[in-house]
A and B are shown apart, each in its own frame.
Chain A
Amino acid sequence: MDQNLSSGNANYEAVRPVGKKFVADDDKNIGELVLLVEDSLGDVRLTLDAFHDANPSVSLHVASDGVEAMSFLRREGPYAQAPRPNLVLLDLNLPRMDGHQVLGEIKKDGNLRTIPTVILTTSNAEAEVEMCFDLQANGYLCKPVDLRTFEELVRGVNDFWLTKRMLPAQFMSLGSGTGALRASTSNSVACRKCGTSMGLAATRLHPFAVHMQCHAFMCAACNHTQSYMLPVSDEDF
């Protein structure tokens, strides 16, 4: 294991997984920063690997107990230069100061409480879940036992709390290029279910963006209702 994984001293360098090795993150301005509060080195390793697959631009900082996590967040002692993380992933059972206390401290602090804090623990007890949501945890995830589910889980965390911009528009392609899209508004599309050609005399559903609208169509042949994104014609402006 790379020595950068060691924590509990001034060497709190962010680690970024590169291939199977972890290197110190030189440029703190690139990518999103996650503070992982976790005492199990095995779980740290798994999380690093999973983030590497989900989003290689994420840098992970590791605190191995609650006291260290709070010092990091408050930039105390050796952490005076610590960056503000975009997300905290918090284990519950930790030495010195446990995850509940850390969560309580974060959510009481006017400056820190806007940092999404997600519990990642092996505990599955209902009382635990309720207590954490009561303390305003942003999410509660159980560490899965198998690797694939763990990777999926980290991908979900990345999607929901780090990738603020959702996927770019994936318009239903009715042709290629804007010109063809516009031209196609006066033509027809094939029903997605039965393939019958439908005219485009549709009800406007919802303006998604200034230049595109969602239209609903019902296929006359099979009654399947479906939606298509169509460009707004110039006359609509």
Chain B
Amino acid sequence: MDILLVEDSPGDIRLTLEAFRDANPSVRLHVANDGVEAMAFLRREGGHTQAPRPELILLDLNMPKMDGRAVLALIKSDESLKVIPTVILTTSEADIDILETYRLKANCYLRKPVGLEAFEGLVKQINDFWIVMTRLPPAPLHAQAP
């Protein structure tokens, strides 16, 4: 199971890695630090020619270079990428962000909880729900990992 985490905060990356290691060691978490890197990973460009196709994308909104809204719009307008469930994971509480990202076809909007245990709990829930319970779409034949 490959998950792409698009996140610029080293603290959140660290916490997410640790929490997934506890929740489900079979998850391979790939990290992109900004939107440009995320798109390169998904399109297998630059240094990412061997990148696997992630089954799930966890996307922060506020990032340098290219923010999460732009990444989401690109993913959801790409025929090959748009079926990958993309879950927004952000500190923003603004209703406008929730509405805007659902309009841009986000699959789910989650607020980063305050507090370590709540964060760990959320990652466990993401694992139980999005990885174990949800049926995720298969990769299209032309997009399978090289």
Q: A residues near B, CB below 8 A?
A: 107, 113-116, 124, 126, 129-130, 133-134, 136, 138-142, 152-153, 156, 159-161, 164-172, 205-209, 212, 214, 216, 225, 227-229
| Contact yes or no, B114 A169, CB < 8 A | yes
Q: Name the residue of chain B whose CB is nearest to the CB of A126.
A: B138
Q: A171-B115, A212-B115, A228-B116 are in contact. Are A138 and B108 (CB under 8 A)?
A: yes
Interface size on B, residues (CB 8 A): 42
Q: A114-B102, A159-B125, A169-B115 are in contact. Are A130 and B15 (CB under 8 A)?
A: no
Instruction: Determine the distance from Cα of A167 to Cα of B135 in the docked complex, in whole angstroms.
Output: 26
Stretch with Cβ within 8 A of A (4 or more), from B6-14, B24-32, B61-69? B6-14
Q: A129-B135, A156-B125, A159-B125 are in contact. Are A170 and B9 (CB under 8 A)?
A: no
| Contact yes or no, B133 A165, CB < 8 A | no
| Contact yes or no, B122 A166, CB < 8 A | yes
- Neighbouring A residues of B14 by C-beta, 8 Å: 205-206, 216
Instruction: Determine the distance from Cα of A139 to Cα of B136 in the docked complex, in whole angstroms.
Output: 8
**List of 8 A-B pairs having minimum Cβ-Cβ separation, nearest first:** A206-B11, A169-B115, A166-B113, A156-B129, A133-B83, A170-B117, A114-B102, A205-B11
| Contact yes or no, A156 B128, CB < 8 A | yes
Q: Name the residue of chain B whose CB is nearest to the CB of A165.
A: B111
Decide yes or no whether B118 CB sits under 8 A from chain A: yes
Instruction: Determine the distance from Cα of A236 to Cα of B25 in the docked complex, in whole angstroms.
Output: 37
Interchain nearest-CB distance for A193 vs B (Å): 13
| Contact yes or no, B110 A166, CB < 8 A | yes
Instruction: Determine the distance from Cα of A161 to Cα of B105 in the docked complex, in whole angstroms.
Output: 14
Q: B residues near A, CB below 8 A?
A: 9-12, 14-15, 18, 76, 82-85, 98-99, 102-103, 105, 107-118, 121-122, 125, 128-130, 133-138, 140
Q: A133-B83, A166-B118, A212-B115 are in contact. Are A141 and B110 (CB under 8 A)?
A: no
| Contact yes or no, B122 A156, CB < 8 A | no
Q: A116-B102, A136-B105 are in contact. Are A229 and B129 (CB under 8 A)?
A: no
11 contacts between A and B (CB under 8 A): A116-B102, A129-B135, A133-B84, A139-B85, A140-B137, A141-B134, A167-B118, A205-B14, A208-B116, A212-B115, A214-B116
Instruction: Determine the distance from Cα of A169 to Cα of B115 in the docked complex, in whole angstroms.
Output: 5
- Cβ 8 A contact of B134, one of A134, A139, A168: A139
Q: Name the residue of chain B whose CB is nearest to the CB of A125.
A: B135
Instruction: Determine the distance from Cα of A168 to Cα of B114 in the docked complex, in whole angstroms.
Output: 7
| Contact yes or no, A141 B133, CB < 8 A | yes
Instruction: Determine the distance from Cα of A209 to Cα of B14 in the docked complex, in whole angstroms.
Output: 17
Interchain nearest-CB distance for B90 vs A (Å): 11
- Neighbouring A residues of B133 by C-beta, 8 Å: 141, 152-153, 156
| Contact yes or no, A212 B114, CB < 8 A | yes
- Cβ 8 A contact of A169, one of B82, B85, B113, B134: B113
| Contact yes or no, A227 B108, CB < 8 A | no
- Neighbouring A residues of B129 by C-beta, 8 Å: 156, 159-160
Interchain nearest-CB distance for B119 vs A (Å): 8
- Neighbouring A residues of B83 by C-beta, 8 Å: 130, 133-134
